[in-house]
């Protein structure tokens, strides 16, 4: 197994400095009525905060709070509504001791979240909106740059690549360069191939198998495979029954260099990583 250079990396993440000498778990907190994985479960403040605290107890190293579903066909959410969903949850969790990421495509909300204490901004749109990079460059937030092809409403209709790994890797490298040009140092940047975002099952599997090529860009890689339709297609399970398949995919991702796993099932992922970490750190006598 190759030894990945993420082991020597640190990530500046707001006031936190994360040492990436083991894979980290990012727990998903969807404050939405319609997310594909858990829509409606944690839609109000109390339920979202209680869920977030449970994920921390289960071993989440950081949390990703989102107020707009990105599943194909999801309704667009206004800035006002997304702000109303997300910022109170962020505020309530500021003292929780873990870095808080905000999952948004809206530059104005990025700005407000950074000012309110977010440690990371996660943008499935790769910070392509006008002003998105500027919205975060003056802060100390980390950024997660994700690849997608097309727009969420239609992205799964006919995704096409000549070479999915080269194209995703090339896109992410170009966006890292754009972020650096906007004043964001590499020590604040994470990249994500965007599993399920404008990709067929074959594209997703090819990317997962070759994730180390994306990791070779030298920036930590975040992988979001949890409960996704690729896991459903492979296991023939409904979304609430994809934990085993998701954990298998998460382990494959860390073996191929993922530094951060974005997951719904924190406890299960934590146990799997405990086994993986023990095997990785055992000293072999010869």
For ligand HH2, the binding residues (CB under 6 A) are 28, 30, 32, 35-37, 66, 69-71, 103, 122, 124, 144, 146, 192, 194-195, 222, 224, 262
Q: What are phi and psi of 254, to 5 degrees?
A: -70, -35
Residues with active-site annotation? 228, 262
Nearest to 147 by CA among 239, 79, 77, 219: 219
CB of 144 to ligand HH2, least distance (A): 5
Q: Which is nearer to ligand HH2, 49 or 224 (CB)?
A: 224
CB of 19 to ligand HH2, least distance (A): 21
Q: Which is nearer to ligand HH2, 30 or 269 (CB)?
A: 30
Q: Is residue 79 classed exposed, middle or buried when 0-12, 13-18 and 19+ CB atoms within 10 A define those classes?
A: middle
Count other C-beta atoms under 10 Å from residue 200's C-beta: 17
CB of 226 to ligand HH2, least distance (A): 7
Which DSSP letter does residue 250 get? H
Q: Which is nearer to ligand HH2, 45 or 280 (CB)?
A: 45
Q: Which is nearer to ligand HH2, 36 or 171 (CB)?
A: 36
Q: What does the radius of gyration of the chain's CA atoms come to, in whole angstroms?
A: 17
- In the three-class reduction of DSSP (H, G, I as helix; E, B as strand; rest coil), residue 139 is classed as coil
CB 32 within 8 A of CB 85: yes
Q: Report the greatest alpha carbon distance in the chain.
A: 62
CA distance 39 to 47: 12
CB of 153 to ligand HH2, least distance (A): 12
């Amino acid at each position: 197994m190759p030894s990945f250079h993420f082991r020597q990396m640190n990530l500046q993440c707001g006031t936190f400095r994360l040492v990436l000498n083991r894979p980290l778990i990012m727990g998903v907190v969807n404050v939405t009525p319609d997310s594909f994985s858990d829509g409606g479960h944690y839609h109000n403040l109390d339920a979202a905060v209680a869920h977030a605290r449970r994920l921390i107890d289960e071993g989440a190293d950081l949390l990703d709070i989102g107020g707009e579903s990105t599943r194909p066909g999801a309704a667009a959410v206004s800035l006002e509504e997304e702000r109303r969903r997300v910022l109170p949850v962020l505020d309530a969790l500021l003292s929780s001791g873990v870095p808080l990421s905000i999952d948004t495509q809206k530059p104005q909300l990025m700005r407000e979240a950074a000012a309110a204490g977010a440690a990371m901004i996660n943008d499935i749109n790769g910070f392509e909106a006008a002003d998105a990079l500027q919205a975060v460059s003056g802060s100390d937030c980390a950024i997660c740059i994700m690849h997608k092809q097309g727009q969420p409403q239609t992205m799964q209709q006919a995704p096409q690549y000549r070479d999915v790994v080269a194209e995703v890797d090339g896109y992410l490298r170009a966006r890292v360069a754009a972020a650096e040009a906007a004043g964001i140092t590499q020590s604040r940047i994470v990249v994500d191939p965007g599993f399920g975002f404008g990709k067929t099952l074959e594209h997703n599997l090819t990317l997962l198998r070759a994730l180390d090529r994306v990791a070779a860009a030298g920036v930590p890689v975040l992988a979001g495979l949890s409960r996704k339709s690729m896991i459903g297609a492979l296991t023939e399970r409904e979304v609430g029954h994809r934990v085993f398949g998701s954990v298998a995919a998460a382990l494959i991702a860390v073996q191929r260099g993922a530094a951060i796993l974005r997951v719904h099932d924190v406890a299960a992922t934590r146990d799997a990583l405990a086994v993986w970490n023990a095997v990785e750190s055992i000293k072999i006598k010869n």
